[in-house]
């Protein structure tokens, strides 16, 4: 992928220093080019105390234009003012969003005769001070961006602050800037700690309180040294608006929980909520997980054109309260088997925020207990659902069936008010929701009382699309369910013959009463897939309908390579000069699922890195038969010829072709499943 290649190359540029820069930074000779490696080997230093300046005591909240505009022309004064207005009008300011931040491309490429930065007169005709005044007049704050290098990251070559730290910081302060994001491009191979500390001192010298955001992408483990340098530090490379990127960043940021606290935050990059590359369910997961990780909440979508659903997500005050809790703990992983994540965050009032996050592509039961998330022993607990905005009581079990890629976010407390809430119930489903049209499928649902109190007059219902038949074959009601007991109901579900393949919604609902008679309802949205039985004989996978796909860069391509991010922009599948007329073109992290209905035997393919890449791509291939890895390669690079991969998939309902990044992060990872075939 050209785009990523450029970025990687850019970051490796190490140049000679000018005498002027050396003088400013107090160095006597060029910094060693291999600095990053040297730092990585240094022993882990104990975390330094946070900056004692009272800033960013909770994670910064606000907006930054980068994720929605990059350098495009719509990043301008009008946009920034528009966002400030919306913060006020839509209640986001009241919800805690405060900083309106400008990213790269706000300046002209050249400094003026006095070495001062010059705002781009087309984007910011009134200058930066005028924008700051506008934002301040609305009770908000303004942020700006530059790089701890000779130039910023954009290829147009905007000036960076290396060697100009004191003058640039003063200029920002004079404009009324309240927040600086300090990037890492064109850093001339100089020591990161020195570069970032110089700017810290320069900001301090202005006397203006300025939140200082270190953006060196986690390359020098800033969590180990930056607590007394900046208020937050990026822990990873850039996020992009897709599930794989968000997930991979989340997984890199989660283990760093111990380093976060008031005035010192891990920054897994800005929010993509509302930018359109994920579903609202996925964006709720993104927002839930950033909040439980006490991440900065910087909105990255153009609020002038987002949906009401986006405002509902970004404006959920109960979720924001998890992020902004004054104790300042980052949530820690309690368990993560099979992509079923439990993450718990200690809150100042003694309660725990608990995220039940389902990484997988199908609904999963995710369960923990009050004890496991750190709550004291008690008769019962109050359990608050932060997306449903409803409270229940639980005897100690915290569990739910979580939809694919969804997150149930809860706040659980050992208090004495639990009895006023109805018991929590857990909704469950057994049986496959892969349904062949015209054939009856058997499903079993369950409604289990998790409460200390009994659930009374319980009834379960299962709904599907209007023309489907959903029939209960056993009772759908129970007079009373004591703690831990379940109402189980068997159903047959039939999609009429001729129903087109695809995803359809099923809804399981339970309604019941608490002992005092209060009515409660619990709803579980489920997805059924109408599937086609696989054809018998041998077929090319590039020609068969799939169940689902995920891909790291644009869509999976049929019978061509991945190409760039648009659909249908691939090239002939080519591995080391060998061209395959049939197959699948992907980009790590990728997964393609096929319904095989226990009727198939083998999958074969010639796999490798496509020639459309430079020398950087490295991937590994896996074939899964339901939950079992049936075949895999080691890491394959661009230099290698295609490798033959063959898997026995006998008895599998679903076969999954997975392409991973080979363990080295995602750069130019174009994988080909050449000549991929399925035999049934
Ligand atoms: C880097 C940063 C991004 C963004 C761009 C701007 O890639 O990590 O967040 O600021 O530069 O060019």
Q: What is the CATH number of the domain that holds 449?
A: 2.60.40.10
Give me ligand 1 centre to Cα 185, in Å. Answer: 8
Residues 394, 319: one domain?
Answer: yes
The full DSSP string for 325-348 is: -TT-PPPEEEE-GGGEEEEEEE-T
**Is there a domain that residue 144 lies in?**
yes
Give the Cα separation of 595 and 652 in Å (integer).
Answer: 9
Write the pLDDT tens digit of every residue in 651-669. Answer: 999 999 999 988 887 778 9
Same domain, 165 and 292: no
DSSP 277: S
Same domain for 579 and 468: no
Contact at 8 Å (CB) between 86 and 48? no
Quote the pLDDT of residue 298.
Answer: 99
Domain-terminating residue out of 505, 532, 559: 532
- CATH code of residue 378: 2.60.40.1180
Give the Å distance between the CA of 485 and the centre of ligand 1.
53
pTM: 0.86
Q: Is there a domain that residue 60 lies in? A: no
472-503: per-residue pLDDT in tens? 999 999 999 999 999 999 999 999 999 999 99
| 396 and 455 fall within a common domain | no
C-alpha of residue 70 to centroid of ligand 1, in Å: 9
Residues 368 and 252 in one domain: yes
Interval 269-298: pLDDT, tens: 999 999 999 999 999 999 999 999 999 999
Could you tell which of 144, 179, 184, 215 is best to mutate to test the pocket of ligand 1, judged by most ligand atoms within 8 Å of the CB?
215
* Residues 440 and 459 both lie in one domain: yes
- pLDDT score of 14 more than 90: no
CATH number for the domain that contains residue 222: 3.20.20.70
Domain carrying residue 481: 422-532
Q: Please report whether residue 254 resides in a domain.
A: yes
Q: How many domains does the chain have?
A: 4
645: pLDDT strictly greater than 90: yes
Identify the domain boundary among 498, 513, 532. 532
Asked if residue 265 is part of any domain, the answer here is: no
Q: What is the pLDDT of residues 302-357, one digit of tens each?
A: 999 999 999 999 999 999 999 999 999 999 999 999 999 999 999 999 999 999 99
pLDDT of residue 244: 87
Res 49: pLDDT: 64
Query: What mean pLDDT, rounded, does the chain reach?
Result: 92
Please state, for a pLDDT cut of 70, what percent of the chain lies above it: 93
Report residue 268's pLDDT band, with 50, 70 and 90 as the boundaries. Answer: very high
**pLDDT for position 48:** 58
Domain holding 577: CATH number? 2.60.120.1060
With respect to residue 15, please indicate whether it lies within any of the assigned structural domains.
yes
Question: Does ligand 1 come within 6 angstroms of the Cβ of 247?
Answer: no
Q: What is the pLDDT of residues 524-568, one digit of tens each?
A: 999 999 999 999 999 999 999 999 898 988 999 999 999 998 999
pLDDT at 36: 32
**Do 218 and 172 sit in the same domain of this protein?**
yes
Do 299 and 435 lie in one domain? The reply is no
According to the 3-state scheme, what is the secondary structure of 22-49? HHHHCCCCCCCCCHHHHHHHCCCCCCCC
- Ligand 1 binding pocket includes 8 (Cβ within 6 Å): no
Q: Is the residue at 49 inside a domain?
A: no
Q: What's the 149 CA to ligand 1 centre distance in angstroms?
A: 13
Enzyme catalytic residues? 183, 238
Binned at pLDDT 50, 70 and 90, residue 506 comes out as very high
Residues 591 and 519 in one domain: no
The verdict on residue 369 lying in a domain is: yes
Q: Residues 412, 454: one domain? A: no
The answer to whether residues 166 and 248 belong to one domain is: no
* Nearest residue (CA) to ligand 1, atom 8: 238
SS (H, E, C) 521-575: EEEEEEEEEEECCCCCCEEEHHHCCCCEEECCCCCCEECCCCCCCCCCCCCCEEE
Q: Is the CB of 346 under 6 A from ligand 1?
A: no
Residue 508 sits in the same domain as residue 581: no
56 part of a folded domain: no
């Amino acid at each position: 992928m050209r785009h990523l290649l450029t970025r990687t190359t850019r970051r490796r540029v190490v140049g000679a220093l000018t005498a002027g820069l050396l003088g400013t930074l107090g160095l006597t000779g060029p910094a060693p080019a291999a600095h990053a490696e040297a730092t990585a080997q240094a022993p882990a230093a104990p975390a330094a105390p946070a900056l004692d300046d009272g800033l960013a005591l909770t994670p910064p909240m606000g907006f930054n234009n980068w994720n929605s505009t990059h350098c495009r022309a719509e990043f301008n004064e009008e946009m920034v003012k528009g966002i400030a207005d919306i913060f006020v009008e839509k209640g986001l300011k009241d919800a805690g969003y405060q900083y309106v931040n400008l990213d790269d491309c706000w300046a002209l490429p050249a400094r003026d005769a006095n070495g001062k930065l010059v705002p781009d007169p087309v984007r910011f005709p009134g200058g930066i001070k005028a924008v700051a005044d506008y934002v301040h007049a609305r009770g908000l704050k303004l942020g700006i961006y530059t790089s701890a290098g000779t130039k910023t990251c954009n290829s147009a070559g905007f000036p960076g602050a290396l060697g100009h730290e004191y003058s640039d910081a003063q200029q920002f302060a004079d404009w009324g800037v309240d927040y600086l994001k300090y990037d890492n491009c064109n850093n001339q191979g100089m020591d990161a700690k020195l570069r970032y500390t110089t700017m810290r001192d320069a900001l301090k010298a202005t006397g203006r309180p300025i939140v200082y955001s270190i953006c060196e992408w986690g390359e020098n483990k800033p969590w180990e040294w930056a607590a007394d340098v900046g208020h937050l530090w990026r822990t990873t490379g850039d996020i992009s608006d897709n599930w794989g990127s968000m997930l991979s960043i989340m997984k890199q940021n989660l283990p760093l929980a111990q380093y976060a606290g008031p005035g010192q935050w891990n920054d897994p990059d800005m929010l993509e909520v509302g930018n359109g590359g994920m579903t609202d369910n996925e964006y709720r997961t993104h927002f839930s997980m950033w909040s439980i990780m006490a991440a900065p909440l910087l909105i990255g979508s153009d609020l002038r054109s987002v949906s009401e659903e986006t405002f509902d997500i970004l404006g959920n005050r109960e979720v924001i309260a998890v992020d902004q809790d004054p104790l300042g703990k980052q949530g820690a992983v309690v368990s993560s088997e099979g992509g079923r994540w439990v993450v718990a965050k200690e809150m100042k009032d003694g309660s725990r925020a608990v995220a039940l996050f389902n990484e997988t592509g199908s609904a999963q039961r995710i369960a923990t207990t009050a004890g496991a998330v750190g709550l004291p022993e008690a008769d019962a607990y109050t359990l608050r659902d932060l997306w449903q905005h409803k409270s229940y009581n639980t005897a100690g079990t915290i569990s739910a069936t979580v939809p694919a890629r969804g997150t149930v976010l809860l706040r659980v407390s050992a208090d004495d008010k639990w009895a006023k809430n109805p018991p929590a119930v857990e909704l469950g489903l057994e049986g496959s929701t892969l349904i062949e049209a015209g054939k009856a499928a058997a499903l079993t649902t369950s409604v289990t009382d998790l409460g200390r109190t009994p659930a009374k007059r319980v009834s379960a219902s299962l709904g599907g699309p209007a023309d489907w038949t959903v029939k209960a074959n056993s009772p759908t009601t129970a007079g009373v369910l004591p703690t831990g007991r379940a109402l189980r109901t068997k159903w047959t579900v039939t999609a009429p013959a001729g129903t087109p393949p695809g995803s359809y919604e099923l809804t399981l609902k339970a309604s019941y009463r608490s002992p005092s008679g209060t009515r409660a309802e619990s709803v579980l949205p489920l997805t059924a897939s109408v599937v086609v039985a696989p054809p018998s004989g041998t077929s090319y996978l590039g020609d068969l309908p799939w169940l689902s796909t995920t891909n790291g860069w644009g869509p999976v391509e049929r019978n061509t390579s991945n190409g760039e991010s648009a659909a249908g922009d691939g090239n002939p599948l080519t591995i080391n000069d060998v061209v395959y007329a049939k197959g699948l073109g992907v980009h790590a992290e990728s997964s393609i699922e096929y319904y095989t209905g226990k009727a198939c035997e083998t999958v074969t393919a010639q796999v490798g890195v496509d020639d459309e890449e430079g020398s950087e791509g490295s991937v590994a291939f896996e074939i899964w038969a339901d939950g079992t890895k049936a075949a895999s390669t080691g890491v394959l690079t661009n230099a290698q010829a295609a490798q033959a991969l063959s898997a026995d998939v006998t008895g599998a309902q679903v076969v999954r072709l997975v392409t991973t990044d080979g363990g080295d992060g995602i750069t130019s990872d174009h994988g080909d499943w050449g000549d991929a075939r399925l035999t049934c």
